[in-house]
Structures are given as C-alpha cells and as structure tokens.
Amino acid sequence: MASVQLKNVVKRYGRGKTSNQVIHGVNAEIRDGEFIVIVGPSGCGKSTLLRMVAGLEEISDGEILIGDKVVNQMEPADRDIAMVFQNYALYPHMTVFDNMAYALKIAKVPVSEIKTRVDKAAGILELAPYLARKPRELSGGQRQRVAMGRAIVRQPQVFLFDEPLSNLDAKLRAQTRLEIQKLHRELGITSLFVTHDQVEAMTLAQRMIVMNGGVMEQFGTPEEVYTRPATTFVASFIGSPPMNLLRDAPDARADTIVGIRPEHLDITETGWALRVEAVEMLGAERLVYGRWSHGTGQEMVIIRTEEADAVPAIGATIHVTPRPDRLHAFDAKTGKRL
C-alpha cells in the first residue's frame, strides 16, 4: 500500500497557442489506505486525471508520487498499480480462473502462489463456484467481480477504478457498491474511483474530489462536501435533488446567491409564497416543485417533505420558511462560498 500525491498536476494537449489545457493544477494528498472518489460530469477531466496516475496519459506539468517515488516518467507496469475499467476486458476464451491468473502467469509467479492468490480473491468476491466458467456464462455483475479479482491478485499498492459500475443496472450497481466497500475494508489498499454518479461518490468515498472543467472544486469528506459546498457548482452537483440556489432571496445582498437544501425548507403559515407546479412521490418522501415570483423574475424552488405531510394541490399557493442555520451564501460573480 502507498500514499498518492498530486502536486500542481496539469494536462494539456498540443503546444503553443493552439494547446488545450484540460487539467488545471490539481493538488491533493491521498493517504495510505484511503478510498478516494473523483466525481464530476462528463468531460470534467476525472478520467484523464486517473489515467495520468496510471501512466496511460503523460503529465504536462507538476508531479505525481506513489509512495515516495515520483512516477511522471515511469511506465504503467512499473508503478505497482492495478486498474479496473468500465468495460470488463475479459478474455472470452479463458475461464474465470485463467482470466484472474493471466497477469501472474506473464510475471512468472510460481503456480502454487498463483492458485493461492486466485483462490483467496475468489473467496473474497464470492466467485469460487464460477472459476471454471467462461465470461459468457456469467452475469454482468459477476464479470465485473472477475475484473476486480484480476486486479486483487496482483497485490498492487494502488487500485484505480474508472467508472466500473456504469454497465450495470441499478440493482446490481447498489449491490456491487457494497461489495467494493467490503473489499476495501478487507484489503485496505489505497483506491481512486472515478464516477459521474454523485450517489456512488457519496456512498463509497472516505473523501471525494469534485471536478469541474478540469478544476478541483472541492476535496473533502462526503459530509463536508454536502453540508458546506465550496462553490455553487458543488452545491448543485452533489445532492439529489440539488441545492436550491436563489439570486433574489429576501435579505440577501445583490451580489450574493443564497443556497438552501430541499430538506431544510419547511411548509409554514407564512413565508416565501410558492405556486405548486409538480409533486413527485418517492415512497417515504415527496418532492414539491414550487414557482416563486418576486420583483425581478421567477425561480423554481424544491421542497422535500415526509410521507406523513399533507400533499399540496397542483396550482395551490404554499408558504415555506428556510431554517436559518442551514442557509448558505455564495459570491454571485465567482460562485465561491462566502
């Protein structure tokens, strides 16, 4: 196991005036044994950042350290990392055992050691009954576990996951998230996990890097990112539904955006007057969408209510009051937290 350090890491394509910079000076210290999720929308640079750690993309500026070694010029095979991709990349003609053992055979690991490692990984991932099967005989979730097993048997210092759950359905994604959490508890290997899914990020991460346009907007625990977002982007990206961001909230300065989570708005007798436009039923809770009209325009506000609360009628006017200790303020020009 090893720590990973990103020191002012930059990635640009091309040279001179035509160059296109896609990663803008990322700095992060990832502790030995930590599980880090890199999250952000498509095109934000999260996979590029992971591929630079892996050695699959060159680093334009800055340094990446794995343990105490600068790996900028090291080949991927020499970095002591193992990567799990979105597509499982299994050999269709090989059994599960042979797929998991392949890299060890290439490295000329003794046969007895290979069997010991594969059997141990298969036990952890509940793949022991399937070792003699071919990939076509497995479900998508089982194939993804084989891909993870292939990484485990190498006993790397760092695991790199590049959107490994994207090809699974919702139920399998949830199940596999639990398996990855269990895997990390048992092995304790430093892990970097890339996803565009903020639910995956919140449930898996010990700490998370939120990327936007090649910039690291925030690096913190899921609780820190959710309760104290550093920017309006983080506030709107993390959370489902996202934070309400209001430009003309009462008592707010003209240069301030006020943020409030949907669960921190209470339906009251007086307060902000909203016209109900939609209600979503989500089992134990509901989302109420209300249009707030004010002097300079209109804004949509989302309120999260409990199952036992009365359901407002579409078109009705309701009043809501934000909880004062849950209000957030952001600079309207920079989007940064005040």
- Residue 213: helix, strand or coil by DSSP? coil
- Alpha-carbon distances of 161 from 35, 81, 99, 116, rounded to whole Å: 11, 11, 18, 24
- Residue 244: helix, strand or coil by DSSP? strand
Secondary element (H or E) of residue 317: strand 317-322
Q: Which residues pair with residue 285 across a beta bridge?
A: 306
Which regions in the chain score pLDDT beneath 50?
A: none
pLDDT in tens, 193-235: 999 999 999 999 999 999 999 999 999 999 999 999 999 999 9
| DSSP-derived secondary structure for 274-292 | EEEEEEEE-SSEEEEEEEE
Rounded to the nearest 10 degrees, what angle do helices 111-124 and 140-152 cross at?
130
The whole-model pTM stands at 0.90
pLDDT in tens, 29-73: 999 999 999 999 999 999 999 999 999 999 999 999 999 999 999
| CA–CA dist 4, 29 (Å, integer) | 6
Number of residues that make up the chain: 338
- Give residue 188's pLDDT: 92
Other beta carbons less than 10 A from residue 319's beta carbon: 14
| CA–CA dist 201, 40 (Å, integer) | 9
- Alpha-carbon distances of 69 from 73, 156, 192, 282, 322, rounded to whole Å: 11, 15, 18, 49, 50
- Residue 259: helix, strand or coil by DSSP? strand
- Give residue 9's pLDDT: 97
Q: Which of 22, 85, 13, 32 lies closest to 54, judged by CA?
A: 85
Tokens of 61: 């500026």
Domains of the chain: 4-234 (3.40.50.300), 242-331 (2.40.50.140)
- Give residue 13's pLDDT: 92
- Alpha-carbon distances of 207 from 188, 196, 213, 270, rounded to whole Å: 15, 15, 20, 40
| CA–CA dist 217, 224 (Å, integer) | 13
